[in-house]
Amino acid sequence: MKEAHKDALKLDLAANAERRKRLGQYFTGVGLGRLLASLAQAEQASSIIDPMAGSGDLLASCLGIGAIPEVLAGVEIDEIAYSTCVSRLPKAHTLLGSAFDPDTLSRLQVKAWDLVIANPPYVRYQSFSEKSEATHLLPSAMQIRTDLLKAIQLLPSLDLEDKRLFTHLVEGYSGLSDLAVPSWILCAGLVKPGGRLALVVPESWLSRDYATIVHYMLFRWFDIEFVVEDEHAAWFEDAQVKTTLIVAKRVERRETVLSQSEGAAYCHVVISAAAASLDSPIGKIDYQGGNTEKNFALQAREWLRNASPQSTELVRARPVYLKLGCKNVIASASRQKWFAAMGEKPIARSEGVYIPHLIHEWLSRQSTLPAFETFESQGVAIGQGLRTGANGFFYADGEQKGSTVRLRFSGPLIGLVAEAPLEIARPVLRRQSELPTGFVVSPEITTGWVLDLRQHALPEDRGVDELASTLYEKMPTALADVVRAAERSNFGTASKRQKVWELTAVAPNIKPATRSQPARHWYMLPSFAPRHNPDVILARVNSTTPTAYLNKGRTCLIDANFSAIWTLPTTKWSAPGLLAFMNSAWSQAVIECSGAVMGGGALKVEATHLRRFPVPPFTDPQLRKLDELGELLATTEAERVEETITQIDTIVAKALGSDNSSTSELRDIARAGQAQRAKHKGR
């Protein structure tokens, strides 16, 4: 397979590796392309387009399985890849330009297509610049959104209401998303009713919040037929994340995203790396009659029709029911502004839970589906820790000596040392490397300190008016010297220098004076919120399934590297109870299945994931027992931790309507997820 991939490119990959990375180019290869084209029934399509054609792998793959379309077209923005595509497919109508550009789209012979097949670029907008060495200037994020809004109006496959709703989708997708998100929207809009959409996508599309808008679009305008997973991240040698293939058939717009018939399902296929030959990801699967990919597609269609699990050493298939998928999309999307604009009804807080498919299958095996609630509906809040915007100033290493802390600064202020009273130096947990061996974070184990100068001002700032001199205390001399040194320092880069008060997250600290309040200065952090010193924390980026830690007495400030959980006055939960629950087999399996897998195999767990966490219906006695076990977990010796966790699992299992023996399967699910992610390390 890899040899065919290299032959298909006909480019010097070593010389162009960095350039291709900036452009998000991971060319598909004809072996993988034939598999996608076969699943999408390309041989039946009379019109086929790849709007991000690259070197033409996918279009060539369609022809390779016997497609004879009346119109074959491609669009490519990079001149080097475009030239390769034109040479390779002289009969195709290939255009040089941006597929989002209405002028480019207007030059296509057809505007609505039987098959739109693509491997969109997976690159952040921030990678785009005039220095990207692309011979065709790459559009900015704003330009892509503006062009896409215009392009939608040109697409005959969308009626007036479709265009209105697609406009909301384009206006609503996150500016932090990959370029792939607007690419998916464009590709979907090009598919005529009854046609098919066939995409190569990163595995992260299943869990990243910014992809929720794409899930919504697929569920409302398409019947998803296949999601095919690269089990061992083997399809793309130079990509850092696993890849999936998606095939979906365009249908009439549904009235709501929940308008799915009972029993409707797509076929989720997992292909082992052991199935690959030199020229195909499934080349070692033995089929009679030659064409491996087409035979595989026929078998997959049978799996889709039968909606029954299949398993061999090389391939596993299972039905994924769309009702559950749609509910998960609503749980993810209900807080986003575009959701209401799509005409969807608001949901109750208790309904906004996300149950991953593997977890749903486990529940089905237990013959139980509890009435889950969200943390929020139970009086537990979720957020993210403190973001200073200038860690090199606000954060310092330090050692407490009595009522003062000796601070040592780093970054632009490296080498500076100052004594600070405890009313100014506050203990802070900054990063994962500072986490303890147990389950409790406290000032006794922290080495980080944050400068809390909200009530102190430089002498020159206090002297501005009487109000400032009255309400602000004089800043200690040693710290005033640090502040002035920071004002002289470069907090940017060598090529782009920045003053500390120019930093995006620092500038909002500055507030003009009012009649009742003196001016606020850049060195004064905003007021601390409960999310900054919560009850329980989890690291946002994890190499293993994250462990929950108790912030003892809420005495430590917690950095934005951590997701934060804290109790509200109305809740029945206690901080130790949350600690116990978040370290249970249930919680770790759910987190493993719902977090976002990053390049290199890390698992990202955001506050948004935790807000839709499925919390079982605990009784008051069960919550009291979790509280006791959480206290025990926080104080127990290491050799007794496993015993305590087992007792926690027993309580959670009862709330789930299961038994303790079944929770071992949940641990297996979490471990399997960790093992899969571990295969990404070092890629």
> Contact at 8 Å (CB) between 390 and 485?
no
Q: Is residue 516 one of the residues assigned to a domain?
A: no
* Closest among 559, 530, 535 to 549, alpha carbons compared: 535
Do both 380 and 398 map to the same domain? Answer: no
Q: Flag whether the pTM goes above 0.75.
A: yes
Structural domain boundaries, residue 456: 391-509
Do both 496 and 590 map to the same domain? Answer: no
Do both 128 and 46 map to the same domain? Answer: yes
Tokens 């600070």: give the residue. Answer: 420
Do both 85 and 207 map to the same domain? Answer: yes
Which DSSP category does 46 fall into?
S
Percent of residues in the chain assigned helix, strand, coil, to nearest 5 = 40, 20, 40
Q: Is residue 523 one of the residues assigned to a domain?
A: no
Task: State the Cα–Cα distance between residues 550 and 565, nearest whole angstrom.
Answer: 10
Q: Is residue 466 one of the residues assigned to a domain?
A: yes
Positions of the chain with pLDDT under 70:
1-29, 122-137, 176, 204-208, 236-241, 289, 349-351, 679-683
3-state secondary structure at position 671: helix
Is the four-CA dihedral 422, 425, 429, 435 of positive or negative sign? negative
Residue 559 has a pLDDT of 97
Residue 205 has a pLDDT of 67
Do both 589 and 632 map to the same domain? Answer: yes
> Contact at 8 Å (CB) between 613 and 375?
yes
> Final residue of a domain: which of 509, 541, 556?
509
Do both 474 and 567 map to the same domain? Answer: no
Residue 454 host element (H or E): none
Residue 342, domain CATH = 3.40.50.150
Q: Is residue 562 one of the residues assigned to a domain?
A: yes
Q: Is residue 268 one of the residues assigned to a domain?
A: yes
Do both 325 and 462 map to the same domain? Answer: no
> Contact at 8 Å (CB) between 151 and 228?
no
Do both 333 and 397 map to the same domain? Answer: no
Residue 15 has a pLDDT of 39
pLDDT digits (tens, 9 = 90+) for 408-418: 999 999 999 99
Task: State the Cα–Cα distance between residues 277 and 282, nearest whole angstrom.
Answer: 7
Instruction: Indicate the residue type of 341.
Output: A
Do both 330 and 456 map to the same domain? Answer: no
Phi, psi of 419 (to 5 degrees): -90, 135
> Contact at 8 Å (CB) between 618 and 655?
yes
What is the total count of domains within the chain?
3
Do both 413 and 323 map to the same domain? Answer: no
Structure tokens at 475: 């800043």
Residue 27 has a pLDDT of 46
Q: What strands lie across the sheet with 562-567, from one edge to the other?
A: 380-384, 562-567, 536-539, 549-551, 440-441
DSSP secondary structure, 79-117, as one string: HHHHHHHHHH-TTSEEEES-TT-HHHHHTSS-SSEEEEE
Q: Is 657 left (phi over 0), alpha (psi -120 to 50) or beta?
A: left
Strand stretches in 498-635, DSSP E: 536-539, 541-542, 549-551, 557-558, 562-567, 596-597, 603-604
Using CA atoms in the order 233, 239, 240, 242, what is the torsion angle rounded to 10 degrees? -30
> Contact at 8 Å (CB) between 251 and 200?
no
Q: Is residue 358 one of the residues assigned to a domain?
A: no
Give every CB contact of residue 467 below 8 A, 6+ residues apart in sequence.
513, 517, 518
Which DSSP category does 497 fall into?
-
Do both 500 and 622 map to the same domain? Answer: no
Q: Is residue 11 one of the residues assigned to a domain?
A: yes
Do both 467 and 547 map to the same domain? Answer: no
Q: Is residue 518 one of the residues assigned to a domain?
A: no
